[in-house]
């Protein structure tokens, strides 16, 4: 049986690739093979060794782009420094696009659909927060240790030593809890990470995280469990089969926060969370089915099924992932859990407790509209944008994306010996390729790795697939880009071409 992830695994609540951080392996799923299409990109909770991490967190001059003394992001100017700055021009220009705020864009429409399941005044939406945050907001406020790999320049875009482009919507979580403007919130935003190059990964993507809290001092008799269960009655039912075989919490696999929550409180919050998210997911997938029928009258409808799987995230406990059986595959849709009480305490609202979830908007949009390549979201081609005109005002007209003609790929290979000092990170390589080829680079994949038995040097070989989404690239164009990539690799990363 296969499980496909529909989300970027890195945010699940700022908690996190929507903000909770991904960590320990899931129990009982070793036999399931996960595909690399994600909905929520989460950070691993595992720490790299200090020896391995130091060269990544410290300066990596080989991979540095030319550095301006300052940059301007959405009207505000920030000073850079030579040790930390690593934001390339293509990523900087993306900060002005704000796709989640562009009416009739698939990212905007998907945000609309998800937000509709969490109405005000209980849930307050935030979607216009600056992408520039401090290291304290992005890491320290969430408990990331100083040596966490997510802090490395190889993973994160830094402006200077204390300022960066947010890597997850969770960077705003502590501030939102502290502001205490509503019982619930939704944060939608563009987030930035150095990453692989393929049809489901891009250095800029979009996340939504949400939370719902209750205050012990504001519910009758301080009875949180009773208040939560009463509120749960207002959540609509769905009549869909849901598998949930595990207990509300487990002392080893999915522990209760015994120092802060009673068993009844944690169980009630978990039930409210699951019912809320099930209602949202049923709405999303019902729309996807309707669009499929509209595009193909022969679409084979299968009953929607959902199942809850125990998970681990550093900032919730107990924690779960929700999977949906759709179009012949189990799809991993989102991550969620009961918020760790330390987050409320550190935000200055110790009497609150509740739940949170995170979801990758891009991957849900790819599913809804059947968009095959994440690069298409950044297209300004009218053949793409015109297909979604008017949908924001009339969501029942949602249809599937009709591809342009498929232009031929131009694959090129490059192989090289890694630097003798061992200072090489694949994300630096990916950044160079993307910086030169831009959105004409469809995929980069390593197809061979070899360690010389005598010298101990490692050789790697990568296949770079060049393909434009709006025109045919000539072989000469691909060769020119590829040669520039080869030369830049030797200059910036110190590799030796083979």
Q: Which residues have CB under 8 Å from 345's CB, separation 6+?
A: none
Whether the pLDDT of residue 139 is over 60: the answer is: yes
- Which superfamily does CATH assign the domain made up of 2-43+96-130+168-397 to? Bira Bifunctional Protein; Domain 2 (3.30.930.10)
Q: How many CA atoms lie within 13 A of 204 on its CB side?
A: 26
* CA–CA gap between residue 168 and residue 19 (Å, rounded): 6
Phi, psi (rounded to 5 degrees) for 289: -65, -45
**All structural domains of the chain with their residue ranges:** 2-43+96-130+168-397, 410-497
Q: Taking residues 317-323, what's their average pLDDT?
A: 97
- From 143, 155, 185, 133, select the one nearest 315 (Cα to Cα): 143
Class of residue 16 by CB neighbours under 10 A (exposed 0-12, middle 13-18, buried 19+)? buried
Q: Quick one: pLDDT at residue 43?
A: 55
Q: Quick one: pLDDT at residue 327?
A: 75
Say what percent of the chain tops pLDDT 70. 87
- Model confidence at 294, pLDDT cuts 50, 70, 90, reads confident
CATH class of the region 410-497: alpha beta
Q: Quick one: pLDDT at residue 45?
A: 41
* CA–CA gap between residue 183 and residue 149 (Å, rounded): 33
Q: Quick one: pLDDT at residue 21?
A: 36
* CA–CA gap between residue 215 and residue 29 (Å, rounded): 36
pLDDT tens figures, 234-258: 999 998 999 999 999 999 999 999 9
Q: Record the pTM.
A: 0.83
Whether the pLDDT of residue 7 is over 50: the answer is: no
- Model confidence at 283, pLDDT cuts 50, 70, 90, reads very high
Q: Do 462 and 445 form a contact (C-beta atoms < 8 A)?
A: yes
- Model confidence at 315, pLDDT cuts 50, 70, 90, reads confident
Whether the pLDDT of residue 18 is over 80: the answer is: no
Beta-bridge partners for 241 = 305
Whether the pLDDT of residue 474 is over 60: the answer is: yes
* CA–CA gap between residue 439 and residue 442 (Å, rounded): 7
Q: Taking residues 276-292, what's their average pLDDT?
A: 92
Q: Which residues have CB under 8 Å from 144's CB, separation 6+?
A: 21, 43, 150, 151
243 SS3 class:
strand
């Amino acid at each position: 049986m296969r499980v496909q992830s529909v989300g970027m695994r890195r945010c699940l609540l700022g908690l996190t690739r929507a903000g909770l951080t991904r960590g320990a392996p899931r129990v009982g799923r070793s036999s399931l093979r996960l595909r690399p299409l994600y909905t929520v990109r989460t950070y691993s909770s595992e720490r790299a060794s200090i020896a391995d991490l130091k060269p990544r967190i410290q300066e990596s001059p080989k991979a540095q782009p030319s550095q301006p003394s300052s940059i301007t992001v959405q009207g505000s100017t920030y000073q850079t420094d030579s040790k930390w700055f690593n934001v390339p021009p293509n990523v900087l220009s993306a900060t002005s696009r704000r796709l989640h705020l562009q009416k009739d864009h698939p990212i905007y429409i998907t945000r609309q659909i998800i937000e509709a399941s969490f109405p005000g005044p209980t849930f307050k939406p935030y979607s216009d927060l600056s992408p520039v945050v401090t290291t304290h907001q992005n890491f320290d406020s969430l408990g990331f240790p100083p040596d966490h790999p997510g802090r490395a320049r190889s993973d994160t875009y830094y402006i200077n030593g204390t300022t960066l482009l947010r890597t997850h919507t969770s960077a705003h979580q502590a501030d939102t809890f502290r502001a205490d403007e509503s019982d619930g919130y939704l944060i939608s935003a563009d987030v930035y990470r150095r990453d692989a190059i393929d049809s489901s990964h891009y250095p800029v993507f979009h996340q939504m995280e949400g939370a719902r809290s209750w205050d012990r001092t504001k519910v009758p008799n301080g009875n949180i469990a009773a208040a939560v269960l009463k509120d749960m009655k207002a959540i609509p039912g769905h009549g869909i089969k849901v598998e949930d075989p595990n207990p509300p919490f487990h002392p080893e696999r999915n522990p209760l926060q015994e120092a802060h929550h009673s068993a009844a409180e944690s169980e009630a919050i978990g039930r409210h969370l699951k019912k809320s998210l099930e209602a949202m997911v049923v709405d999303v997938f019902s729309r996807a089915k309707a669009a499929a029928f509209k595009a193909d009258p022969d679409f084979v409808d299968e009953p929607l099924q959902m199942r809850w799987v125990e998970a681990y995230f550093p900032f919730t406990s107990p924690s779960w992932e929700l999977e949906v059986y759709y179009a012949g595959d189990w799809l991993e849709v989102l991550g969620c859990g009961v918020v760790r009480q330390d987050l409320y305490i550190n935000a200055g609202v110790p009497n609150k407790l509740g739940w949170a979830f995170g979801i990758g908007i891009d991957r849900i949009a790819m599913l809804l509209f059947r968009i095959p390549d994440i690069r298409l979201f950044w297209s300004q081609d009218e053949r793409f944008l015109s297909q979604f005109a008017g949908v924001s005002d009339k969501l029942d007209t949602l249809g599937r994306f009709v591809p342009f003609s498929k232009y031929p790929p131009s694959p090129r290979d490059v192989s090289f010996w890694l630097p003798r000092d061992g200072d090489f990170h694949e994300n630096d390589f990916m950044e160079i390729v993307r910086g030169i080829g831009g959105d004409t680079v469809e995929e980069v994949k390593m197809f061979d790795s070899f360690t010389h038995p005598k010298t101990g040097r490692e050789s790697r070989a990568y296949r770079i697939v060049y393909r434009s989404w709006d025109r045919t690239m000539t072989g000469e164009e691909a060769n020119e880009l590829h040669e520039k990539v080869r030369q830049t690799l030797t200059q910036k990363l110190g590799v030796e071409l083979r």
